[in-house]
Amino acid sequence: MKPVLNFYLSAGKRAKVATAGGILTRVVQAAEAAGWQVILRDESDPVGGDGYHLVYNRAVTAPRTLVLRRCYFDPFWRIEATNDRWDWEVTGKSFPDTASQDAEGFRRRWQAKLFAGQDVSRQGHIFMPLQGKLLAHRHFQAASPIGMIHNTRAADPSRKIFATLHPRETYSVAELDALRGIEGFELTDRPSMELLAGCDYVVTENSAMALTGFFAEKPAVLFARIDFHHIAASVPRDGMAAFDPQPKPPFAAYLKWFFRRNAITSWADDAVDRIRVRFRNHGWPM
């Protein structure tokens, strides 16, 4: 009897499996080439029971279940045992910091794509992309977002902080009140990419804007755990010494390692093989 992969997707994504040729198609190809049966299930179906289960960008709640999630930018993807990025496998790896062929070309190409039309420069400010739950100190954070603001002002009082709110978050009156009246701190609706392009460095809990900034060689100070911590200054790892002067991080080598060595590139010739390797690494008999 063939092993069964139950693949949970929305109706729109199920339609793409046969036509789009992207990561969803590659997953099906990988399983079928290994002799598995693939059953496309609706994302609302209960996860569990016989066979193996792959969900799309959602919590893993059942045995023999993995999650497929974009690694920040298409065409890069990861297959993981948890949907929490700070617990992804790459988080615990050591970055080798060795020269990589065409790493600088990779960084420059993505900078041109992500920062098209922006003035990438140092304009003397800190960019702080805020996320959610501004008053809460959660288990993966070194401080609450409000605490992060005050700690940053104490560590670097000479630079102004320009902060943005997350467009998909809802904020309480108490949260918004807590942002008022902080010296050297300004909440702004200026475009995030403009602020990122012009900042000296990024301070955030674990916003993907910090990783985006690596393509423009913007250093980052992180107040929470995340998978791209390796070349960032990290308060969970280093305490407030994270604000001490640091040598320039090896941005290009790191980005090539993070995206091309530790993620699946959906269009690459080795995508199907790498998908099977990921399943096998999680103990699946593929």
Residue 256 has pLDDT above 90, yes or no: yes
Residue 51: is its pLDDT beyond 80? yes
CATH number for the domain spanning 120: value is 3.40.50
* pLDDT of amino acid 179: 98
Cross-sheet strand order for the sheet of 37-42: 37-42, 4-9, 52-56, 65-70, 76-80, 264-265
Please indicate, yes or no, if residue 286 is contained in any of the structural domains: no
**Banded pLDDT at 164 (limits 50, 70, 90):** very high
Residue 100 pLDDT exceeds 80: no
Using pLDDT thresholds of 50, 70 and 90, give the confidence band for residue 221.
Answer: very high
Amino acid at 91: T
Q: Do residue 274 and residue 228 come from a single domain?
A: no
The reply to whether 117 and 69 lie within a common domain is: no
Residue 206 domain-assigned (yes or no): yes
Please classify residue 173 by burial: count the beta carbons closer than 10 Å to its beta carbon, then call 0-12 exposed, 13-18 middle and 19+ buried: exposed
pLDDT digits (tens, 9 = 90+) for 185-217: 999 999 999 999 999 999 999 999 999 999 999
Q: For residues 115-142, give the mean pLDDT.
A: 98
Same domain, 13 and 69: yes
- Note whether 31 and 168 are same-domain residues: no
Residue 131, amino acid: Q
Residue 222 lies in a domain: yes
Given this model, what pLDDT does residue 140 score? 98
Instruction: Give a yes or no: residue 195 inside a domain.
Output: yes
- Give the model's pLDDT for residue 98: 80
Quote the percentage of the chain above a pLDDT of 90.
96
Residue 189 lies in a domain: yes
Quote the domain boundaries for residue 18. 4-93+263-281
Predicted pLDDT of residue 97: 80
> How far is it, in rounded angstroms, from Cα 278 to Cα 274?
6
8 A C-beta contact, residue 24 and residue 75: no
Determine the average pLDDT of the residues in 134-143: 98
Are 220 and 134 in a shared domain?
Answer: yes
**Under a CB-based contact definition with an 8 Å cutoff, are residues 240 and 221 in contact?**
no
* Amino acid 161: pLDDT: 99
pLDDT of residue 255: 98
Q: Are residues 112 and 156 in the same domain?
A: yes
Tokens, residue 242: 């994270």
User: Do 34 and 45 fall within a single domain?
Assistant: yes
* Per-residue pLDDT, 84: 97
**What does the alpha-carbon distance between residue 178 and residue 20 come to, in Å, rounded to a whole number?**
46
* Residue 18: inside a domain: yes
Q: What is the pLDDT confidence band of residue 229, given thresholds at 50, 70 and 90?
A: very high
| CA gap 186, 180 in Å, rounded | 9
Q: Do 114 and 208 have their domain in common?
A: yes
Kindly state whether residues 72 and 22 are assigned to the same domain. Answer: yes
Amino acid 129: pLDDT: 99
Q: Are residues 144 and 252 in the same domain?
A: yes
Count of the separate structural domains present in the chain: 2
Residue 176 to residue 145: CA distance in whole angstroms = 12
Q: What is the pLDDT of residue 172?
A: 98
Give the single-character DSSP code of 248: P
The arithmetic mean of pLDDT across residues 234-263, rounded, is 97
* Shared domain check, 233 and 267: no
pLDDT (mean) for 241-254: 96
Q: What is the pLDDT of residue 101?
A: 80
pLDDT of residue 1: 82
The fraction of the chain above a pLDDT of 70, given in percent, is: 100
Regarding whether 123 and 61 lie in a shared domain, the answer is no
- Does residue 117 sit within a domain? yes
pLDDT-derived band at 19, boundaries 50, 70, 90? confident
What does the pLDDT read at residue 216? 99
Domain membership of residue 120 (yes or no) is yes
